[in-house]
Amino acid sequence: MIDIRGININIYNATDMNKSELDSLEDWFNSEFGYIEIEWAKPQWYLIMKYDNEIIGRIGIIKRRININSKNLEISGITGAIIKEQFRGKKLSKIMLQKATNFIKDKLKLKFALLLCRDEVVPIYKKCNWYIVKGPTLFEQTTGLKEYSKNTMVINLSNNIWPDGVINLKGLPW
């Protein structure tokens, strides 16, 4: 049992974090997702969830001017949502996702957020009001422009409707 009062969540600008903090978050990401052969963008913000001073969750947040059907759209992205194994199944990711989208809406003042994910985790995001868009979604790698083969999900943070069409992330994916 965890006591929800011991949970604490903060969002930090990556430029205010020191190298060892950033390295340990990146190592954590790589140990969860290192098997995926994609070069990922580095987050500009990190949401950190602590329980009694121990880091138990993280989400990377990005702001990017992407293209949809060649038209610019400034959006946010979330990446590497992870809850420490022994804390999973306690609805903590739901709390983290809500905080992240509140930050994107209220502080970054953006109308959409986008994430890329594999099939297994789609239900988790659907429960938090994210939905799948058709794309296709293109992103840059050193070897050239690639198409993401799994799911692209977005969340509406205003009354605006996501414009359907080809999504070009205009850089490394997240």
Q: If you count them, how many residues does the chain have?
A: 174
Q: Could you give the CA distance from residue 138 to residue 164 in angstroms, rounded to a whole number?
A: 14
Q: Judged by CB under 6 A, how many residues of this single chain contact ligand COA?
A: 17
Residue type, 59: I
Among 65, 94, 107, 170, binds ligand COA (CB under 6 A): 94
Instruction: Work out whether 65 is an interface residue with ligand COA (CB under 6 A).
Output: no
Q: What is the DSSP letter of 141?
A: E
CB of 47 to ligand COA, least distance (A): 12
Tokens of 46: 């990190």
Among 49, 92, 133, 155, binds ligand COA (CB under 6 A): 92
Q: Could you give the CA distance from residue 68 to residue 137 in angstroms, rounded to a whole number?
A: 9
Stretch binding ligand COA (CB under 6 A), from 7-15, 16-24, 79-87, 136-144: 79-87
Stretch binding ligand COA (CB under 6 A), from 39-47, 86-94, 101-109, 139-147: 86-94
CB of 123 to ligand COA, least distance (A): 4
Cis peptide before 163 (omega within 30 of 0): no
Instruction: Work out whether 88 is an interface residue with ligand COA (CB under 6 A).
Output: yes
Alpha helices in 15-170 (DSSP H): 19-33, 92-106, 122-126
Which residues within the stretch 3-32 sit at the binding site for ligand COA (CB under 6 A)?
Answer: 32
Q: Could you give the CA distance from residue 154 to residue 63 in angstroms, rounded to a whole number?
A: 14
Binding site for ligand COA (CB under 6 A): 32, 81-83, 88-94, 117, 120-121, 123-124, 127
